[in-house]
Structure 1
Amino acid sequence: MIALKKLIKNSSLALVAGLLLMGSTAQAQDAVAGKAIFEGNCTACHSLDADVVGPALKDVHKRRGDEWLTKFIKNSQELVQAGDKDAVAVYEKFNKVPMPAFGTSLSDDDVANVIAFIKAESEKPAEVVAEAPATPATDAGATATAAEAEVAFMDLPPVLLFTFALAAVIILLTILVLVMMFRLFVPMLGDSIYDEDFRSSFAGRVLFLVRGDATLVTGKAKNEIHSNHDFDGIQEYDNDLPPWWKAMFYVSIVFAIGYMLHFHVFKTGALQTEEYEMEMEEAALIASKNVDDPNAVTNYEVLTEAAALESGKALFNTNCAACHGQEGQGTVGPNLTDEYWLHGGDVNAIFKTVKYGVPAKGMVPWQGKLTKDQMLEVSSYILSLQGTNPAGAKEPQGEKM
């Protein structure tokens, strides 16, 4: 009897273990299938760890639940229009970019597999990133950083500090000597400083300027009528022009002559138009060396080979169809089969849009994910869709090219 109980107990444990093993195996298989579906339909707009066009999906099943996720994947706009607060919050947060409805393209099992994949990826432990060893002090980068660091005034070499101190002492002594001479010699002049000859001299003007007389700056007011001309009772006095005004006038004449000779006679200087053209040439040279500059000039030609277009079609279906439709008819993104373009319709403009994206409109940049050749293949394939007029095409957007 005891042996029979042990046998039943052991059998039960084996059955439970077998069921758990089968469940975990089935879940692993669902996650594998879900990964392929996720990469084919979701990676263009979603990442597990970071917000892209849509939100980061790590642990989203814990925040929302499987039932809500299934409804949102099948038709997100249906939930938004129904007033679901979570769906509306996501829609508002991500610039009201609608998520494509996958209710017709994915089965219930496909959606469940995608959710299983998200769960499996969310439960994976975070990868430990080894810290890079500290850069030795003798490294060139460290030397450049040290050279760029600001040096405090008191940390300057002693010789330089002594030079500054000596210069300050000399300036201070010069000021003291001038003040002492002024205080010594002015009283010795007595009333002679008021003589017209001395007062009209430069030294006299400086002296009286210090004492509050601004004649050196404003000129002398003679209070004498300039002539017998009478303009409706208005008469003109023969006063001096302010010396500062006359000095600036003479300086401007000299400057104008030098400017004319430098720029228009000898042509040793570049005018504004020439400077602009030279700066634009320099900017173009710099941009041509920087492959990541969105303003760099490109001169790609449209690919017409069948193999290149077939490769571009495969890349388009994998990465672009989720937002532009399998036939380029436009869903979340614009229609790519008509003559209207938002960001330019030649192969170079399309290449730049694919490479750098339009983050404000939800278009992600594909540089780093696709190679230059792949982006050119996709761009060429998009141009091959012109005039195909697929069913259900989205209305034109942008300018006609």
Structure 2
Amino acid sequence: MNMVRLSWKYLVAKPMNTGLNILLLALGLAIITVLILIQDQFENQMSRDAKGVDLVVGAKGSPLQLILSSVYHIDFPTGNIDLKEAKGVSRNRLVKKTIPLSLGDNYGGYRIVGTNHDYLDLYEVSFASGGAWEKPFEVVLGSAVAEKLNLKVGDTFMGSHGIGSSSHEHDHHDYRVTGVLAPSGKVVDKLILTSLESVWFTHGKEGEHDHDKMENAVAKRGFPETEEDRQITTLLIQYRSPMAAVQLPRFINSRSSLQAASPTFEISRLFELLGVGIKLIKGLAFVIIFIAGLGIFIALYNSLKERRYDLAVMRTIGASKGQLFVHIVLEGIILTSLGAIVGILMGHLFLSFLVMGQEQGALSNISAWIFLKAEVWILVYAITVGVFASLIPALGAYKTDIAKQLTK
């Protein structure tokens, strides 16, 4: 006697009840699936992009905003800082390396970041074509930028003022693409990288747009040599020793007009704040799953009352008590297994709609169709719910009195 097939036939015989129980369970599991996918990929992405950056120094303001704008490029900068002050910080004995950044322009919504070649080394990039910039207004494109904007080595474009895509163009000088980065899964995939001098000349005086000046070499490491009063947006710092983590932020925050923020600390604080909301949503999902489990129990219990005669007949033709017990438990397992599969697929489908069109921002690097090991535990959890929901009805089937039921 094939118990799996028999259990399936009984479920199919009541499609409305079966479908409702599967859908209710699937909704709860879909919510958990979405949360697992977002939390895992978001945390991994944050850790990957902040690797090698111990401290960020910028203008006074929100430390979290400073980190989000300078490391992850998903917020507006807190302002600019004086180049001389930035150089002073870089000469501190506790500092191993500094990488200056200048922000403020975009092309097609993708940020143009003025920096030096140390920024390329920080993310250990490789080139799909071309190479790094050598002169002002030469740029390197992240892989996502090149693909989305259909640009290649040798192409030119005009940058626009501001972080957002709806801003006016700079009409002084074109940027020329010298290299395209290979995909890395890091923040550089969605950036347009150039020299600090390019950003300065774009926002500088009219005389700085002299074409002769555009043939000069740019600073590939450290800061450009200049006698003029210049500004940058932020400074990425690597510590020389663990002692710097204690002393340097306090020194900068208390004895200068600058602000120092730790990516590790600020992102941990962000995850802590987000964790409260995630726990509430997970709580709601578990309530839905509990209701679904209760629904499965009621459906099986009511079904047992209607099928006592059928179960008695099964006993008379050779089915054991154990087989009847397994038969009812299998119904619960089949119901919850289908609910888990449907729920996981619904979670991935919902996430794909959520990230659709998110070319930039916190959700832009999240893939909806990555399957994690944790999702196997969703299936295990669902089957466990099915087993527990079917235990009491299964015991009722086990104790079926053949003579009494056939007499009725």
Larger radius of gyration: 1
Instruction: Say which structure is richer in strand.
Output: 2
TM-score, length-scaled by structure 2: 0.21
TM-score, length-scaled by structure 1: 0.21
Which of the pair has the greater relative contact order for Cα pairs under 8 Å at 6+ separation?
2
